[in-house]
Amino acid sequence: MYKVAPIFSTLTAAQRIINKRYHLREKAYLHVYQLYTLSRTNAVESLNIFSKGKKIFKEQDEFFFYCGEIYRLNSNTDEALYEYSKAIELAKNNGEEFYLVPFYYLNRGNLHLSLKKLESAIIDYNDLLRLNPVSTAGFTNRGIAYHMLGEIDKACRDWESAIQLGFQQPNTYHEKYCR
């Protein structure tokens, strides 16, 4: 386990100091997220830092995504869904070219899948695959959602696509349900 408490106080101070340059501020927030994911501690402090950042950078979709990740990692599904949805809403306005945007859809889709909101999960996986047509996670998980809905042919097609892209995990599903 990493000792990050002193780092968080340093980052909070750094947040105040580097307000002069936008790209440095943005990078500081990325570091807050990275530190949290490494340590899995200080969720409240991390969320407080992002809360302040979201007030300053109201259109930064990735800040909402990072908060969604922190909430998801802490099993706070409702808050995670809200943050992912806000990130997606902002990304649609900002442009979906940013490299993280497919993960907004993937992670929200995965939450929908875990909550058995299968139609919502499929919509998110469709958007993920629109942005990243070679997402093996998108094909695999959409296949699982289709299977749970009883749409076995669609599930099998998605698992075959993931397998053709080199992902082996769907082999288990494909062998069990598609032959």
- For 121-137, write each residue's pLDDT tens digit: 999 999 999 999 999 99
What is residue 106's predicted lDDT score, i.e. its pLDDT?
98
- Mean pLDDT score of the chain, rounded to an integer? 86
CA distance from start to end of the chain: 45
Interval 71-103: pLDDT, tens: 998 999 999 999 999 999 999 999 999 899 999
Rg of the chain (C-alpha set):
18
Read off the pTM.
Answer: 0.82
pLDDT at 21: 47
Q: Where does residue 41 fall: left (phi above 0), alpha (psi -120 to 50 degrees), or beta otherwise?
A: beta
Cα–Cα distance for residue pair 28/49, rounded to 1 Å: 10
CA 10 to each of CA 4, 6, 32, 49, 85: distance values in angstroms, whole numbers, following the listed order = 10, 6, 11, 12, 31
Measured in whole angstroms, the distance separating CA 85 from the mean position of its chain's CA atoms is 10
Joined together, the tokens standing for residue 39 give 């340590």
Q: What's the pLDDT tens digit per position in 18-62?
A: 444 444 456 666 667 676 666 666 778 878 787 887 887 788 899
